[in-house]
Every structure is written in C-alpha cells, then in structure tokens.
C-alpha cells in the first residue's frame, strides 16, 4: 500500500507547473462558431505520443514542498492503515467527502454537447453543476444544452479562451464560488472543455490549487472520439512545439467513448480501437452512437480514488501502468492554424438563402472546417433553429419556441448567471505588478513601473480575430461602392473560371501544351495580305466586327477571294448567298488560316457556313494528299447540343460534298452520329472510312467508348452552340471526347449567347484564340420586332388563337415544358389548325417528321420546347410566339432568333404574367431597350436596380451579368448561377437543413 501512495504522489507531483495561466475578457455573445484550419505549410514533423514504461522516470518534477506535504498528509492514512499479520487490525481509509468532478473532453465535433445533454436529461437522481467552456467569443452551447430549460442544475459558461490556458483562472474562481455559495445543492460537477483543450493542465489545476484540492476531487477524464474523423485529427501534422490535442485527449482519458460508429464500417472501428490502445492501454473503451452510454460509465469513475487504484490495480503493476497512463510532457501551445469566427445577424433569416450560403461554404471548405454550430431566427418559424456540423456532416432542425420576452434574432445568448458581486479574475503576474506599482508610487519611482505595466499590458492585450478584421478594414484605402462591386464580380468570375482545363487527360498528365496554331496551306490573295492594319480596322468598323487576339488575319469581303473551289461558289450562289455576312467576312479567313476561334454573332447571321466551309476544305485537302483507308477518320468533327441541329448541320455539309463530287472531286463521306438512329447504319459508314462527323455528345461518346470510331486523325473540332452544351450538362461528355484526341487540333466555338464565364473557360482549350464578335454577345436580332403582352395564365391558350392571326403561317410556338406542348398541340388540332409538336420526350421518328413537314410547308404551326430553339433554321417563319417567358434570357434570345433570319423581318410575341420572376422581367426590359423596342407599361413600372449600369459596365468591361448575359442584373444577383449552385449541392449532398437537430448525431 505504501508503494501505491508513492506512485500516486509521483503522479500528482508531475502535474505541477505544466501550464501558464492567462485570462481573456468574456466577449459579447454572437451566433455561429466556425473552427477552421488556416492553410499553412509546417516543416516540423507530427509529434507522436510515446507511452512510458516502468523504467522511465517522470519527466516533470514538483518543486513545491507545500504540495508534497498536502499529498503526504492525505495519503498517510493509506500508508498507516495497511493490514499487518502481527496486529490483526484493519484500519479503513477515512471517507472522502469532497465533491467529485468529471472532465468531458474530445476534439471539435466529437459529440461532447450531445453527451452532456444525455447526462442532464437522464433520470440518474444526481444534481449536476455544469461548467461549459467555449474557445471563441460566443456562447452557443448555452443555447444547445437541453437542461437549461429544466432549471434543476447550474450551468456556467466560460468564453473567449481555453480551460487549459487562457481562462484557467476563471475555472478556479467558478468552482470556488459553486462550493462556497451552493454547496449541498449539487452532487457532481461536470466540466466540458473545448475541443482544443489539452487535459493535462486542467488535471493539474485540481492538485495545484489548495482551495480546489480540499473541496473537489477529480473523479475522472472522459474523452469522446469521432469515429469518422479521428484519423484526420490524429494524423494531422502540427508545427514544431505545438501539441496534437487529439492525441493528448486520448492519452489522459480514464474512459474513452468512440462515438458516431454508425457513420463508418466495423473494420474502421476495429482499426481505430487498436490505434487508441496504442496510445492509452489503461483506459476503458466503449463504442456508441449519438453519445448515448450508460451513465455509470461516465459518472463515478473514481479515476483518481486510492481505494479504486488499490482494489482494481495490482500494486506492482500500478506504478508501471499509471505512470504510462498519466505521465507525459506538456509544452502546451495551441495550434495557431486553428481559428474561431463568429457571425451575428439581427432580425430573421431567409432559410433558403441561409441553406444556399451554408451549402456553398461546405462545398468549398468542408475539409478546413472542424466544427460549426449556431442558432438562427428563421423568417416564418416560431421555433429557434439549431444547427451543428463537423466537416461535411451537417444537421439542423427547429428547437423550442422563442420566449415571449426573448428578443428574436440570429444570435446566441449568454446563459451564465451574472452575480452582483462578480469580480473578474486577475492573473497573479498582474496582481504582483499592481502591488509593485503601489510600493514604487510611495517611493516616488512610479515611472519605471508604469513602463513595466505598459509592457505587461501589451503582452496581455491580445486582440480577437474580430478586432483584427475590423482594424484591417479601417487600414484599407477607401473605395467606392461601384469599385467594391467590380472587385467582387472579378473574384466571382475568377472562381467560376477555376475549373479543370478543357484538355485531354493525357495532355494534362504529361503537361503537354501547344503554343503555335496548326499550319494550313491556305493563303489569301496578295493584295489582301498586303492590306494595312488601318484598312482592316476600317472594314471591321463598317461591318460592326469586334476582334480580339494576336495577329488576326485580314477580313475578306467576297467568297471568291477566299479561294473556295468553283463548285462550292456555285452552290452558294444557287442558295442565294452572294456576299458573306459580317461573321463570315472575318470568321472564314481566321479559320482557313488554322487559328482557334470563338465566334459570337446574333441568330440567323450565317455562323454555320463559317465552320462548315473550312471543314469541307480540310477534308478535301487530306483526301487529295492521301486517300482515306477503310476504318480511318474522321478529319473533322462538329458537336451540336440537339439532334435537330446536328441533322440540319449535316444537311448543309452534304450539300457542298455533293456539289464537289458532281464536279469530279474525290468522294468525301460524312456521318450523322446522333441517337435515335440504328448504330449499324452509322458503323457501315465508319468501316468504309469517314471524313466528316456531325454528332451529339451522347452517341459520339458511346461510339468512342466502344472503340467503334477513333479520333486519331481528327484535327478539326467545332462546338456549335458551345454555351448551350455546357449549360445542358454536356461538359463532362465533351471532356471525354477530348480524351480521344491524339494530337493538336483546331478548336472552334460558336454561339449567339456566349457569356464571359464561358469565354474564359473556353480559352483554356484554345491555342492563341481569336474572338470574333458581331454585336454584343447575347444581344437580340435587330431584324425581329419584339412584342410583349401581359396575359393571365388561364387566358393564355385562348389568346394564342388570336395571336396566330397576326401573320400568315408558318408560326412557331415555344413552351417551357413538355406537358404544355402536348396540351397546346391537342387544342390547336381540335380548333382545326394544322399543327405538329416536338419535344425531348418524343421518339426520333416523330421529331424528324415534325421538323421536315413544318419546313416543307405542309404544317402551319410547330409547337416546341427549347429543343427547337438552338440553331435551327426556318427561313420562312414570320412569327414566333413565346407561350411561356423562359426563365433564362439566353433562351429568349435563341427563341426569337428563329425568325428574322437572313435579313428578313420577323415578329416575336411574348406572354408574361406574375409567374415570371422580377429578375427575368428586368432582363427582358433591358433587352427591349437595347434593341429600341416598345416597352409595355408593366415592364416600365418595375423598380430598376441597374440605373447606373452604364457606369459599372464601363468600369468593369462587362455589360450586364457575366454568367448568363442578362442586362437587368449583375452576376452577384444571377438567378441562373444560384440555381446551378443549388443543383450542384443537391446532387452531391442531402439537404443541410433536413431532419435531425442537436439531439441527432453531429
């Protein structure tokens, strides 16, 4: 028994002098805590825990004689009470009437508050006083602890510091106040530490402070371990001199609860148990879910009770095991890379917007966020909304009702009971300095002390992160609201452009980059090559052409000077195309020169010819140089977003290939690679050797994956309606197509609506690209008369018949969804109108019949979804009706672009009502203003936030929204961007504000 006493004395002595005590003021209460890892590179190695054996000596010795005397006096009873064979007398250890205290620790997000709620709400018959510690400036747990409503226990809060260091003095004061003023009103003290606390200095407090030692005994240390994230915390590399708190918390535990085992598999739990035992062999382990354990496992441990040690541990083994359990070295310094951020919002919050913001935060920074928790006042909800999260695991739910006298707002409330006689704890060093100042003042030598005090205050006045942030904001130069808006938009655009480069995996893996465009054998006539830059710019101004890029080829004003073969010129003339359009004047020379290009021009401006004619010339050149073998090809590839557009482009290609074949040129074989057609027919063409492929992403990806076709010889790629390909979700398919290219290719992108974000993204795949822009990207065709009418939802289908009489057929009617297309089609047929319908739900045969019969004039009305709005050419259409105003202004531009083509005038009628969002209507209003169209009163009366749009556009260089091209808003208010973020979050994670709550597992 004497050896047991000596072991306990040695253990207690080793706790002296392990940590310095500092005190920070308790700050005001805020809302939300985010503990995050600042990205810093540490060169120091990860500090590993080394268990001591029986031969190891204590690394820390106690020099306090008083502490030795205290322990010797308390333990003398044990040494003298040992049973001897001579006397036959048994003397029992005197009863220990001190109040037991249990320390609950565990890393951030391990479930300490959940366990505390379980303790406080369980029927165990104990009266418990709780001391809750927050690392940051905010008391959130005070609002989450369930027992607060019961009023049976005392809950005291310690904020703005960690128990093991900065607020240790406050811990001593609080326990002393509890014992002196409320002794007899509680049976047990539970101390919940912060997730960043090292237990050793807290344990030391119970033995180093005289008053605590006499009144309170340490019952045990309970550590919670997050089964899902434990490996991350244990393996984390810390800076030199910084301890890994997760390891220390396990090392000093008497009981270890492995929590959240439902989130990982059994093998992971077994592996974690083995790892924990490698750190602490003495502690008992238990696995659980939702922090629910038998309370006898947590309370009444007797971890530092001599009777327990004597009865449970062999005397000879006790010294070895207990030294190993509790003897470690502590140079305790908190990790400077971990910080706490608090947010306050007054009033109520929009839950949908909060969900969006939080979802984006977790999507971008979940790995860096250790822990978050908060209390929200939600608009339209009478309950307090509580949420908690660990990394990317998140739960939230309504809690109890707001109190009648409780001020609503998204803020926490300090639950600590403020007493009238509260005196703030003053550190010993500061008390000594104050006493010294009094002595020196009496001696007339206060100046030196003042200087010393000032130094001391500078050391102690460590500002919080909020103070630092406020100071940094003050130090920044003043900028106007417009300048701030432009900076925010640039950051958003850069973030949107921060995508994986549009290149093949092989090129990315090997770091292959191309610096020079592909050479071609084409050259313009000598007079054009000698044209001065001034003359070129004059032609571009005349044709309203804007170019961007290096060494842009000169514009050519006629097809003959572009050196096309005579059969092609005859085919163009036969189609009534005598003179090139503005996009053709500049675009054709750029592509024929081998340059990569982004082509932007309004609908119906002849963009298809710009990439089809050079494609035919490249295929012809390759065939004449070396005829193609069976199974080879293609040389050129065109990718379209819809089957109808692909077939239309294929027909244009076929037209020029037939004319070349009839004139005696070698036969060039095209392939239409789209879904809905038997793949065997397509494979027959591939087996013979194919020169040109026009495809949709799905079927093309399928044929390449099955190795039915390859792109080994392909050197020409066109993405028609490129922004639509990205928006419709084909981006990943396009990336897979890029993986099949074996070398450099000439890449072209075309669309009528090419927002800045698409242009920035596309440039990653292009080599020295040239951007050719005719008018503003996303502008409406000026040859279309736009009429906007307010029509109630229930009256639209009747008013449709009246609108059909504005012009002679054919007429195109657009709807937002397939059901409306079928309903209107059936209604028109019942009214005797010759109508056909097309949407994505119909099979290919019906779709082709609808398009062909409408183009041939056999049908008067085509009812369609946006599948017919992208690039389809209906030259004779005079009238387009938007039965539904599309949510995105880009779709509106494409829809009305089906009329007013090739210089003809058309009419576009659009129905609007209260179902449209204000942002969409503002975009429409600005589009009408730009095209100098009549603005209906319902749009003119809208409050316009873009009154200073011109100044912002001039300063930023971007007109309207850089994401969708709408003129009625900026990118920070873009509904399309918000919608796509919502879809991205929904597809990757569940609803963040779903079921659960603080009682669920965090």
- Rounded distance between C-alpha atoms, residue 871 and residue 858, angstroms: 21
Identify any residues that bridge with 606 across adjacent strands, giving them in sequence order. none
* Residues of the chain scoring pLDDT < 50: 1-91, 137-140, 142-144, 146-153, 160, 306-331, 411-422, 446, 498, 990-1002
Q: For residues 253 and 198, give the distance between their C-alpha atoms in angstroms, rounded to a whole number.
A: 11
HEC string of 799-835 equals: HHHHHCCCCCCCEEEECCCHHHHHHHHHHHHHCCCCE
Q: How far apart, in whole angstroms, are the C-alpha atoms of residue 136 and residue 593? A: 63
Rounded to whole angstroms, the Cα distance separating 370 from 33 reads 10
Q: Per residue in 710-742, pLDDT tens?
A: 999 999 999 998 877 876 667 778 888 888 998
| Helices of type H across 461-504 | 465-475, 481-497
The owner of tokens 């074989």 is 669
910: tokens are: 């659009």
Report yes or no on whether pTM surpasses 0.85. Answer: no
Cβ pair 745, 767 in contact under 8 A: no
pLDDT recorded at residue 192 = 86
Tokens of 702: 């399928």
Q: Tokens at residue 733, please?
A: 């398919």
Q: Note the pLDDT of residue 157.
A: 55
* Cβ contact 599:609 at 8 Å: no
Q: Residue 355: how many CB atoms within 10 A of its CB?
A: 18
3-state class (DSSP) for residue 772: strand
Element (H, E) at 571: helix 566-574
Distance separating alpha carbons of residues 227 and 110, to the nearest angstrom: 8
Q: For residue 22, give both structure tokens.
A: 């500092």
Question: Half-sphere exposure of residue 74, counting CA atoms within 13 Å on the CB side?
Answer: 20
pLDDT, position 33: 40
End-to-end CA distance of the chain: 45
Q: What are phi and psi of 371, to 5 degrees?
A: -155, 140
Distances (CA, A) of 647 to 122, 568, 692, 693, 717: 71, 20, 13, 11, 17
Spatial contact of 650 and 670, defined as CB atoms under 8 Å apart: yes
Whether the CB-CB separation of 999 and 117 falls below 8 Å is answered with yes
Q: Please tell me whether residue 302 adopts helix, strand or coil conformation.
A: coil
Phi/psi for 129 (5° steps) reads -100, 135
Planar angle of CA 760, 762, 763, nearest 5 degrees: 70
For the chain, list the domains and their CATH numbers.
Answer: 21-47+88-307 (3.40.50.300), 514-774 (3.40.50.300), 784-986 (3.40.50.300)
Distance of alpha carbon 410 from alpha carbon 358, whole angstroms? 15
How far apart CA 785 and CA 806 sit, in angstroms, is 12
845: burial class by Cβ within 10 Å (0-12, 13-18, 19+)? exposed
d(CA 665, CA 674): 28
CA distances from 134 to 162, 178, 394, 395, 581 (A): 7, 19, 20, 20, 69
Residues in contact with 48: Cβ distance below 8 Å, sequence separation at least 6, in sequence order: 247
pLDDT of residue 8: 34
Q: Which of 158, 64, 18, 23 minimizes the C-alpha distance to 430?
A: 23
The tokens of 825 are what? 């089609």
Q: Is 690 exposed, middle or buried (0-12, 13-18, 19+ CB in 10 A)?
A: buried
Q: Angle CA(193)–CA(195)–CA(199) in degrees, nearest 5?
A: 55
Q: 108 near 121, Cβ under 8 Å?
A: no
């Amino acid at each position: 028994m004497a050896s047991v006493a000596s072991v306990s004395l040695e253990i207690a002595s080793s706790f002296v002098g392990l940590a310095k005590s500092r005190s920070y003021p308790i700050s005001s209460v805020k809302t939300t805590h985010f503990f995050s890892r600042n990205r810093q590179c540490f060169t120091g190695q990860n500090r590993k825990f080394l268990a001591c054996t029986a031969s190891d000596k204590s690394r820390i010795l106690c020099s306090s004689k008083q502490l030795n005397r205290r322990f010797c006096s308390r333990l003398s009873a044990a040494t003298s009470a040992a049973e001897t064979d001579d006397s036959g007398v048994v003397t029992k250890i005197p009863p220990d009437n001190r109040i037991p205290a249990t320390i609950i620790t565990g890393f951030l997000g391990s479930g300490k508050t959940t366990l505390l709620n379980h303790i406080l709400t369980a029927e165990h018959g104990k009266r418990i006083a709780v001391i809750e510690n927050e690392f940051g400036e905010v008391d959130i747990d005070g609002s989450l602890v369930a027992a607060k409503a019961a009023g049976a226990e005392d809950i005291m809060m310690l904020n703005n510091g960690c128990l093991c260091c900065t607020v240790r003095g406050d811990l001593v004061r609080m326990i002393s106040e509890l014992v002196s003023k409320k002794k007899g009103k509680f049976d047990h003290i539970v101390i919940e530490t912060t997730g960043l606390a090292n237990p050793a200095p807290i344990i030391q407090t119970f033995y180093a402070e005289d008053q605590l030692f006499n009144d309170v005994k340490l019952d045990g240390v309970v550590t919670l371990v997050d089964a899902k994230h434990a490996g991350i915390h244990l393996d984390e590399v810390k800076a030199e001199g910084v301890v890994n708190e997760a390891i220390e918390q396990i090392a000093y535990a008497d009981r270890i609860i492995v929590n959240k085992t439902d989130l990982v598999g059994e093998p992971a739990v077994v592996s974690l148990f083995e790892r924990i035992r490698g750190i602490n062999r003495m502690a008992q382990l238990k696995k659980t879910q939702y922090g629910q354990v038998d309370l006898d496992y947590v309370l009444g441990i007797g971890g530092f009770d001599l009777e327990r040690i004597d009865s449970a541990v062999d005397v000879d083994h006790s010294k070895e095991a207990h030294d190993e359990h509790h003897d470690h070295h502590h140079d305790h310094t908190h990790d400077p890379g971990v910080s706490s951020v608090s947010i306050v919002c007054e009033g109520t919050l929009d839950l949908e917007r909060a969900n969006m913001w939080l979802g984006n935060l977790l999507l971008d920074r979940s790995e860096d966020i250790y822990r978050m928790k908060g209390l929200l006042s939600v608009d339209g909800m009478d309950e307090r909304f509580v949420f908690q999260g660990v990394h990317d695991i998140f739960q939230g739910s309504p809690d109890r009702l707001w109190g009648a006298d409780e001020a609503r707002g998204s803020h926490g409330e300090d639950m600590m009971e403020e007493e009238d006689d509260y005196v703030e704890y003053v550190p010993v060093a500061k008390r000594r300095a104050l006493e010294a100042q009094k002595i020196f003042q009496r001696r007339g030598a206060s100046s030196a002390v003042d200087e010393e005090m000032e130094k001391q205050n500078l050391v102690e006045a460590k500002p919080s992160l909020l103070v630092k942030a406020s100071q940094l904001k003050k130090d920044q130069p003043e900028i106007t609201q417009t300048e701030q808006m432009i900076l925010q938009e640039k950051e958003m655009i850069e973030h949107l452009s921060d995508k994986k480069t549009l290149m093949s995996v092989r090129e990315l893996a090997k770091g292959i980059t191309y610096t020079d465009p592909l050479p071609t054998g084409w050259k313009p006539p000598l007079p054009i090559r000698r044209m001065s830059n001034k003359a070129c710019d004059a032609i571009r101004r005349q044709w309203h052409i804007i170019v961007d890029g290096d060494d842009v080829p000169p514009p050519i004003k006629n097809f003959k000077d572009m050196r096309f073969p005579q059969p092609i010129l005859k085919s163009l003339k036969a189609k009534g195309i005598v003179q090139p359009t503005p996009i053709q004047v500049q675009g054709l020379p750029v592509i024929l020169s081998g340059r990569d290009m982004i082509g932007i021009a309004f609908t119906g401006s002849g963009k298809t010819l710009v990439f089809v004619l050079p494609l035919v010339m490249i295929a012809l050149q390759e065939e004449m140089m070396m005829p193609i073998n069976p199974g080879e090809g293609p040389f050129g590839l065109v990718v379209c977003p819809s089957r109808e557009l692909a077939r239309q482009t294929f027909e244009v290609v076929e037209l020029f290939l037939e004319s070349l074949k009839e004139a005696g040129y070698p036969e060039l074989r095209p392939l239409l690679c789209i879904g809905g057609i038997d793949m065997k027919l397509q494979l027959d063409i591939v087996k013979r050797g194919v020169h040109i492929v026009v495809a949709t992403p799905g079927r093309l990806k399928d044929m390449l994956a099955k190795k039915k076709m390859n792109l080994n010889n392909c050197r020409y790629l066109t993405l028609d309606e490129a922004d639509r390909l990205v928006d419709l979700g084909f981006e990943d398919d396009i990336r897979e197509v890029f993986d099949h290219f074996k070398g450099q290719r000439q890449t072209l992108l075309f669309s009528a609506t090419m927002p800045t974000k698409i242009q920035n993204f596309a440039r990653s795949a292009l080599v020295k690209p040239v951007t050719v822009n005719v008018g503003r990207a996303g502008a409406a065709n000026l040859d279309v008369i736009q009429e906007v009418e307010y029509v109630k939802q229930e009256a639209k289908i009747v008013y449709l018949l009246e609108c059909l009489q504005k012009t002679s057929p054919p007429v195109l009617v657009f709807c937002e969804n397939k059901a409306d297309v079928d309903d209107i089609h059936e209604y028109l047929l019942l009214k005797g109108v010759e109508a056909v319908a097309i949407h994505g739900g119909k099979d290919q045969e019906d779709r082709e019949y609808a398009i062909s019969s409408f183009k041939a004039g056999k049908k008067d009305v085509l009812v369609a979804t946006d599948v017919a709005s992208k690039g389809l050419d209906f030259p004779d259409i005079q009238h387009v009706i938007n039965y539904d105003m599309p949510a995105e202004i880009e779709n509106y531009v494409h829809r009305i672009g089906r009329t007013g083509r090739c210089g003809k005038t058309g009419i576009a009628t659009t129905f609007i009502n209260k179902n449209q969002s204000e942002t969409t209507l503002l975009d429409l209003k600005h589009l009408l203003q730009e095209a100098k169209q009549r603005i209906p009163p319902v749009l003119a009366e809208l409050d316009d936030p873009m009154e200073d749009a011109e100044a912002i556009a001039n300063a930023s260089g971007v007109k309207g929204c850089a994401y969708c091209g709408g003129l009625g808003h900026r990118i920070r208010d873009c509904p399309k961007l918000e919608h796509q973020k919502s879809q991205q979050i929904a597809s990757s994670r569940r609803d963040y504000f779903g079921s659960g709550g603080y009682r669920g597992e965090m």
